[in-house]
Structure 1
Amino acid sequence: SRKEQRIIRSHASRGRAKRRQRPQLKSWILQRDGSPSLVDDQYTSIPPRVGWDLSFFDFPIEIQPYMQGELSLALSPLREALYPPEICLQVDPASSSWTTALLTDSVYLHCTLFSVEAYLEICLRKSHGPLTHFYFQKTLRLLQDRLDTPGDPLSISDPTIMVVSVLGLTAEVTGDSVAAQKHMKGLRKMVDLRGGLEMLRFDNSRLPAKVCRIDLVLALRFGIEPVFFNSAIPWRSFVGHGLIRKSKGAPADNGDLSEVLNTLDKRLTNVWNDLKEFSQICNLASQTPHKLSPNIFSEIMISIYYRLLSLKFEDDPVAEAIRVAMMAFGSGIFFQWRGIKQRLEFLDHLSQTSLLNLRKSQIRLPQLLILWLLVVQISAFSQLPPENDLRLWVNDIVSQLPISDWKQGRQMLKSVVWIDYCHDKLLDQVWPETTKSP
């Protein structure tokens, strides 16, 4: 009857109204209540572009034929270097303000040419050639001319900040700590003159994250104190639970591990929970078409690393080992250029020191947690001798666990925190040969 149909429709509409809305992620970098969701409509999955016909673009300087290949590389493959395609959406470079700046700003154009040349030389293990040196000197000269006119809006414009950002990132990749620190100090001054990080987002939504990323990588590479978020930091859990539905095949939480986590500083536990949620999101993204936007990827990792760098547990070897292991865990995803395994010297030092202090303490911990701490930190090292004491420690722990092969060990480690596409490959490098499947 019509009356019954109305009752059914009424119940259905009430059910929809009561249905819980999936939580939206607010910006951690901008620190503003009510800031918009980081999921931007411009981030849609695109097929890879095969080459670029740059003859249709009007650049601020005359582009020579040899420059076209370098600019094409900057528009596509180098972007993948910073946003892993396994888990992140690949944005059409033509719609990016970073591409627009190439067409309007000669300083940024020369800086891009320099960074591409430097990147290629590192990939080929070559020293700086004359062309790289020319682009670098040209960039510095044009940049200095702009900065010598402080009243000019261009001196703190987005393109100028982008130039200093690229110079800082290139200095990190080439291992020039002095230059990197100078660029970071200049970057902080420019951001302050603009009114803070939140004022950078209007024309270029990814610029605040780029600036923070450079700040963090310099801290992990050289031990330089971060210039942003070095005082007031929000310690609550940022990602929060419930962003994804738990898969039926997801590993169950480890009870022994939960007992250890409950004894830790609440601030550290919040970061752990965020990292675990992020790893589950990454595993889902790598297996489905549902990828992370560059903004969400950057916001989560930046929130994790600033908090971890601000914490120190000199009198608690367990908490310190977990803190450093979490930094090592994400370093291969967030701070490595594709094709280049950068040496993060300061993080390497922290890892070896924290593991040594943990072993000296003789504190009894679940064997699986010790194995996880060892695997994620050893795999983050750029170089480690085959018979290093830490590798022997791994062999000893594996022999005490009910593990018959690599696959079983991987499954156990997944119950801690694990990102399949990244850490499966790293695990293979440190796993004892005696328990690898033939």
Structure 2
Amino acid sequence: MAKSKYAAGLQFIPITPAQGQDKHTRKAIQSHATRAGARRRPLIELRPWINPHRELEPLEKAISEDTRTSKPDSSIPSPRLVGADFSGMQLPPGIEPYMIQDLVKLIDLNRHGVYPYEICLDVHPTAKGWFPYLISDVCCLHSMMFSVRAFLERTAHNQPSPLAAFHYAQTLHLLQARLNESDPTSAISDATMMVVISLATAAELTNDFATVAKHFQGLEKMVSLRGGVRALNTENNIQVKVCRADLEYALLLGHRPRLLQEGISWDCFIADRGRVRCSHPPHDANLHAFAETAIDVKLHNALQDLHAFSCISNLAYQTTRKLSPEVYNEMMISILYRLTNLSFGRNHLAEAIRIGLLAFSSTIFIERHFMGQPSQHLLNLYTDALFKLRNSTNVDLPIPMVLWLTMFSHLVVHTELSAADWRSVWLDEAVLRGKINTWPQACEILRSVAWVDFVHSRSGKPIFEVAMSRLERTASSDV
């Protein structure tokens, strides 16, 4: 009888095309969670990164079975829908139920961009989404209707349509009246914050970055008047929405986040919990030895968390084990706030790794799947940091790190670089130096740093194949 290649214990098992999924492998994947639970190990407590005095669910419960494919208990057919989903809602003048349908579709599209279904359970409570604001606050409703028009019309018109202009005018009128009230409660309410976030998003869609900055300055003031990020409501997810906006606009506009600049934890959030047990021999040993001696411990901790997240994501994609949205948010916020608040100046190695990890994180946490590549500012920073590292004479990078940095420099630009480009030359050197002959072999090395297969391999494989073609042509010409 063939022996399973997986050891006992809860492990994250990456499967590559080279390995294949034989019956023993499939059995190991399907039963690993059951084996871990049977040992009755103590549950590992998770505390929010922003509010460590609260508690999250234990890590084992945070990685839960996805039951979306289960059959309904009842076979009784549902009544046929008459009209739109919101036909019975009392709407303000100028808004019809069919318009709300478009908005709900966009919210659903954005939700799957924020919480990719390959990683997260689709069980985020309605109370934590946009819906409560949509049905309870007219100003928020108009602002969101303006955002949906801006999204739908962003490639069709240079100027907003009359409908978009109507919603924008209504939003500004209601918002200004709210800000002029003697009672500041409504001016800094959760709903008002959502209005400002929605307006900033609409400005981003039209590349009006000056307006984005202006809106976020207003949001920052509101958060300050509420007592800071840690004082925001966590039950309706406004704290997460504000932090995500802060991080998005920091990366978009090229500055540090304006919130949570003090009192943050630099420790690992999940990598040191003792449950993320992945193995990438022989690459991980050399990489860890390099990281522990060559880069700052704060940066190393962020790298370890991103590596752990990648392993969890690959496991979630292969199995029904999914992250809860709450833990996904905490990992996103803890990693990105640490990376954006670090800076290493003339330490070209650490700065290139930091910005590389930011670019990687943006493809997972920030980049909406329907909006294209990361911000141009971040791409420019990454290219500049890699160029300085390339021209440093005292840096000796291990194969996993140099392959990861150069592969990602190609992946995030979304355009094919020429063979003469220094980034192509550097990638070819890494492949040749590492004696890498196949894409599965390259994936194993990339996973030892951080690599989410379902996100990065579709773009990464053609990049690697082009590099192999260049090397083969060079070898043929030398004969």
TM-score for the superposition, normalised by structure 2: 0.79
| 1:410 aligned residue | 443
Looking at structure 1, the residues matched to 64 and 441 of structure 2 have their Cα atoms a distance apart, in angstroms, of 41
Question: Is 1:398 matched up with 2:431?
Answer: yes
Question: Is 1:261 matched up with 2:261?
Answer: no
| 1:318 aligned residue | 349
Looking at structure 2, the residues matched to 250 and 396 of structure 1 have their Cα atoms a distance apart, in angstroms, of 22
| 2:231 aligned residue | 199
| 1:11 aligned residue | none
Question: Is 1:226 matched up with 2:257?
Answer: yes
Instruction: Choose 218-227 or 51-60, whichever is displaced more.
Output: 51-60
| 1:27 aligned residue | 48
Change beyond 3 A, Cα 1:47–1:324: same
Looking at structure 2, the residues matched to 265 and 191 of structure 1 have their Cα atoms a distance apart, in angstroms, of 32
| Runs of at least 5 residues in structure 2 that lack an aligned partner in the other structure | 1-36, 71-79, 470-479
Looking at structure 2, the residues matched to 82 and 394 of structure 1 have their Cα atoms a distance apart, in angstroms, of 31
Shift of 1:355: 0.6
Contact map agreement 1:87 1:282 (CA 8 A) in 2: yes
Looking at structure 2, the residues matched to 280 and 42 of structure 1 have their Cα atoms a distance apart, in angstroms, of 15
Looking at structure 2, the residues matched to 278 and 82 of structure 1 have their Cα atoms a distance apart, in angstroms, of 15
| 2:408 aligned residue | 376
- Amino acid paired to 1:402: K
Alignment of 1:215-364 (within 5 A): 215-242=246-273, 244-246=275-277, 254-263=284-293, 264-362=295-393, 363-364=395-396
Shift of 1:343: 4.1
Shift of 1:128: 4.3
1:425 to 440, 449, 458: 458
| 1:7 aligned residue | none
Contact map agreement 1:212 1:228 (CA 8 A) in 2: yes
Contact map agreement 2:201 2:212 (CA 8 A) in 1: yes
Contact map agreement 2:66 2:321 (CA 8 A) in 1: no
Shift of 1:338: 2.0
- Amino acid paired to 1:372: W
Question: Is 1:184 matched up with 2:216?
Answer: yes
Contact map agreement 1:375 1:427 (CA 8 A) in 2: yes
| 1:72 aligned residue | 104
Instruction: Choose 236-245 or 160-169, whichever is displaced more.
Output: 236-245
Looking at structure 2, the residues matched to 42 and 144 of structure 1 have their Cα atoms a distance apart, in angstroms, of 45
Change beyond 3 A, Cα 1:346–1:43: farther
Looking at structure 1, the residues matched to 178 and 62 of structure 2 have their Cα atoms a distance apart, in angstroms, of 33
CA RMSD across the alignment: 3.0
Contact map agreement 2:64 2:321 (CA 8 A) in 1: no
Looking at structure 2, the residues matched to 293 and 149 of structure 1 have their Cα atoms a distance apart, in angstroms, of 39
Matched position secondary structure for 1:271: helix
- Corresponding residue pairs, total: 416
Change beyond 3 A, Cα 1:251–1:185: farther
Change beyond 3 A, Cα 1:265–1:228: same
Shift of 1:434: 5.6
Looking at structure 2, the residues matched to 109 and 307 of structure 1 have their Cα atoms a distance apart, in angstroms, of 34
Shift of 1:259: 2.0
Any idea what the Cα deviations from partners look like across 1:198-254, whole Å, max 9, x if unmatched? Answer: 3322541x211111111111121221332112233211111233464536x766652
Matched position secondary structure for 2:321: coil
| Runs of at least 5 residues in structure 1 that lack an aligned partner in the other structure | 1-15
TM-score for the superposition, normalised by structure 1: 0.85
